[in-house]
Every structure is written in structure tokens, then in C-alpha cells.
Amino acid sequence: MISKVCSKCGEEKELEKFVKDKTRKNGRRGICRKCTTLKSIKWNKNNPEKVKVYRELPFNRARKNAREKERWKKNPEKYRERKKVWAKNDREGLANSYICRLIFEAFQVRFSEITPERIQNKREQVMVFRALKSLKEAINE
């Protein structure tokens, strides 16, 4: 059995305990899997805005959607109930996520830069536009 010493924790471990890396001489990273995981967790905590942007990239969103589909298939009643509660709480269709997306599409700002005041202002603007639209339709009938 071949072993290697982790450059982070200094422990000698089996070669399988190290992440594969084709660019390395022995085909493995110098840091063991456990230390790599701890390093990733620390980085994610220190860089939440970068993590959020990364998770919103299209290829990550597709993986997330696939996982959600699987969860839905396993327990459809749970998700139907959630959907009912969401619909009840969000009758006007003006959830924060929707309003943030409108702001992002209009101004190309980061989600972390969108303040609650800006969300509320945009929500009121959308409600006014919807009211005007319904008035116009009522006049035209």
C-alpha cells in the first residue's frame, strides 16, 4: 500500500485519501481530502458573494433543477403543500426573488447590492404599472 504525507495536517495517509490531480507527479494533490474539504468550507464562509454568483451560473442551476425534480418525484405531496402556501402568501406574484430579477435585468447590479428599499420601490412601481394596465383594459372594453 502506497502512502503519502499531507502537506497541511502532516499526517501520513493512504494514497486514496488524496484528491486525484493529473498535473502532479504522483497523480494526487499534496493536501488530503479532509484538509481540502475544511479549506473549501472556510473559503465558502469567507466569500459568500462569490459562492452565490457561482451557484447562479447556468450549469449549476441545471444541476440544481435536476435535483429538485428528483425530490419532487420522491415526495410530491410535500411540494404541492409548499406551493399552496407560497401561492397563498404571494397572491400578487411580487416575491422578492421576482423583484430582484427585474432589478438585475434592468440595471445589471449584483444581487448583494440590491437593498430592501430598492426592492420595495420596484414592487410599488410594478403594482402601479399593473393597475394602469388593468385600467386601460377596462376603458378599451
DSSP per residue over 91-106, as a string?
TTS--HHHHHHHHHHH
Domain 3-46 has CATH 3.30.60: yes
Give the C-alpha separation, 86 to 81, whole Å.
Answer: 9
Residues of the chain above pLDDT 70, percent: 95
Query: What would the pLDDT profile of 95-113 be if each residue is shown by its tens digit?
Result: 777 888 888 888 888 878 8
At 25, is the secondary structure helix, strand, or coil?
A: coil
Q: Look at residue 91 in the predicted model and tell me its pLDDT.
A: 59
Average pLDDT over residues 19-33: 90
pLDDT at 114 over 70: yes
pLDDT at 89 over 70: no
Average pLDDT over residues 9-22: 92
pLDDT at 116 over 90: no
Query: What would the pLDDT profile of 48-62 be if each residue is shown by its tens digit?
Result: 998 888 877 777 778
Q: Structural domain boundaries of the chain?
A: 3-46, 47-89, 91-141
Q: Look at residue 5 in the predicted model and tell me its pLDDT.
A: 93
pLDDT at 33 over 90: yes
Query: What would the pLDDT profile of 62-76 be if each residue is shown by its tens digit?
Result: 888 888 889 889 989
Q: Look at residue 66 in the predicted model and tell me its pLDDT.
A: 87
